[in-house]
Amino acid sequence: MVGILPIVVFAIYLAIYVSLPYIALKRGGRGVAEYLVAKGTLGKIPAIFTLIATYVSVYGFIGYAAAVYTAGYDWLLVDLTYNWFILVPMTVLLGFRVWKLAKIHNLITPGDFIALRTGSDIARLIYAILVFWAASFYIGIQFIALSGTASALTGISYHVFLVVFAIVAVVAIFIGGLRGVAYTDTFNGILFLSVLAIFIGFLISRWGSLNISEALRNPIFQRTLPTQYFVTAYLIAIAWPVLVPHLWIRYHAIERRDTITTSILSYALVWAVLYCIMPYILVMTFAAWWATPPKVTVPEEYVARFFSELIGPATATTAFLGILGAGISTADSIIQTCVATLYRDILETIVKPIAKWPEKKRELLARSMTIVVILFAMMAAYAPALPIIRIGVLFIWPLYSILAITVILALFWRRVNKYGFIAGLLVGSISQLLLQFVIWPTWPHNPWYLWEGALPTIIAGIATVIVSLITPPPPKDIIEKFYRE
Amino acid sequence: MFVRGEKMSSEEIEKEIRSIPLHLTTLDKMIIAHMVIGGIISGFLIEYLTTGYIDNIPKSFITTVIIAILTVLSGLTYYIILKRRFEKAG
């Protein structure tokens, strides 16, 4: 029993959380462009917070710690190493370009970018369907971590929290759209940092009672995967974190260029602390606290269990609201992007007359897509059979890399045409399914211990190049329009 | 200079948009060099500094700290370069 305090705090948190999208609605006004992309007028503070909240999630804080504790240091190494030499420079290379193109051409979704560059609605549609597929699982893993943590802290059923978090996210996104999500991200971001400071304070105060030197002998702190796994992951998954659609759409919403400059430094600081140092410290303390890992329903419970035992369930539950806020922020960012994709890139593309509907009717239809998206995510999160990092490995990261490699080629190589782009997407995604579920169903889904997304991403890139070269070049007017400075 | 909270005019947005080239620039080539050299350094870190111990401290701990420092330095360097570049561009 956690007592009345956490419940009161949770109620206050929810009240603030739901009121912020309402404030956003009042400030931003109405209309489809405002709902989907804040009309490209998002200010510096909410823009930076929403960029970071979109990337940094419970996956970073709770998921990594759980994965490293159960599967070893490899799972941290695979994501922490490339921040300094891939993620930071790729953000510089792509972030400003994506922002500029959105401003010049009034782009709303990444699908708009695809349609503009290829001149094909079929390319946009295929891209959007693949985004929707991957993002449904991505939202699902956020809900798994959120509900698993809340369930571990309170003893209340996982599925009860799954429904609660889904309703909260639906209400916030339905009302506030992207601007509302950015406001809640700012609130949750500040809350998260405050709570993190409190947790670090607790850890430091109890550090003397933990036998860290003994814990460090635990084999989980040793690398076991071969070098080629990491090398192929870094070389082939290079671009997806920048071009992942829920991050990409935020560049369309940013008003000013300098916001991107500041976000690069902010990202570096956040990646260093939350994706390098914090998971390692947490796992060290787990290893010192528990002689053997305790029994849990989902591995994502470990962080909550640890702090609950360290500082007591009532304090831990109260403080953990800040951590859960980070998870909700990422989830609602992805849901909002799925809503935009479903409405703009799928519905408007298939049912052409929608574009001629009155603005209010279109806006209502766009808002109602929130419910459809959340139902897909609930299906992905209903009965998790795998740790969230394994779900990411199977269903999310490889597909995002396939999407990114085709977009990068289209952005920097003018010879890419609609046939090449479509071929890259289809051949890449079909080969991913075949390799992962039919040919080599056992991880890492190839006999050479390459990163699981390496082969399908290479195949997607090759297909894009070959098909573009053997078919006519893209029309000159499309290229001139797209690349006009 | 803008007063905090003041809205930009569309002319100023146009100026900011024009300051971003779509073609590959010297900075882009530097970024590619950074990725190549960083990749080689990281490859060595993974190969030699992630398995085993130095004075009872796991090598993975040392690598984690090194990469955290490199990440902050990398972000700070680009931040300074971009700030200066945009100040010059106006």
Per-residue model confidence as pLDDT tens digits over A64-106? 888 889 889 998 888 888 889 988 999 999 999 999 999 999 8
Q: Which pLDDT tens digit goes with each residue over A13-31?
A: 888 888 899 999 998 888 8
Cβ-defined contact of B35 to A85 (cutoff 8 Å): yes
Check whether B3 has a pLDDT greater than 50.
no
Find the CB nearest A280 among B22, B37, B64. B64
Find out whether A170 and A338 touch, Cβ atoms under 8 Å.
no
- Nearest CB neighbour to B47, from listed A76, A86, A227: A227
Helix, strand, coil percentages in chain A from 3-state DSSP, rounded to 5: 80, 0, 20
Tell me which of B64, B78, B80, B87 to substitute to probe the interface with A (most A C-beta atoms closer than 10 Å).
B64
Quote the pLDDT of residue B2. 35
Check pLDDT > 80 for residue A7: no
Spatial neighbors of A197 by CB under 8 A, at least 6 apart, are none
Nearby residues of A383 by Cβ (< 8 Å), 6 or more positions away: none
Helix (H) / strand (E) containing A361: helix A359-381
Tell me if A253 sits within 8 A of A42, measured CB to CB: yes
Looking at chain A, which residues constitute the CATH 1.20.1730.10 domain(s)?
Answer: 5-385
* Partner-chain residue, chosen from A85, A230, A256, that has the shortest CB–CB distance to B34: A85
**Angle, alpha carbons A200-A196-A334 (nearest 5°):** 150
pLDDT-based confidence at B1, cuts 50/70/90?
very low
pLDDT value for A318: 73
Chain B, window 48-67: residues with a beta carbon less than 8 angstroms from a chain A beta carbon? 50-52, 56-58, 60-61, 63-65, 67
> For the segment A348-371, what is each residue's pLDDT rounded down to a tens digit?
999 989 988 998 999 999 999 999
What DSSP state is assigned to residue A446? S
Q: Which residue has the higher pLDDT, A326 or A225?
A: A225
Q: A216 to chain B: which residues are within 8 Å by CB? A: 56-58, 61
| Contact B86/A at CB under 8 A | yes
Residues from chain A contacting residue B19 (CB–CB below 8 Å): 257
A88:B74 CB<8 A: yes
Spelled out in words, what is the top-level CATH class assigned to the domain A5-385?
mainly alpha
Q: Is the ipTM of this complex over 0.95?
A: no
- In A, minimum Cα distance to B28 occurs at A93
Interface of A with B in 228-287 (CB under 8 A): 230-231, 234-235, 238, 255-258, 261-262, 264-269, 271-273, 276-277, 280
Phi/psi for B68 (5° steps) reads: -60, -45
Higher per-residue pLDDT: A194 or A258:
A258
Summarised one tens digit per residue, pLDDT across range A275-294 is 889 889 999 999 999 988 88
Q: What is the pLDDT of residues A221-264, one digit of tens each?
A: 999 999 889 888 887 776 566 788 888 999 999 999 999 999 99
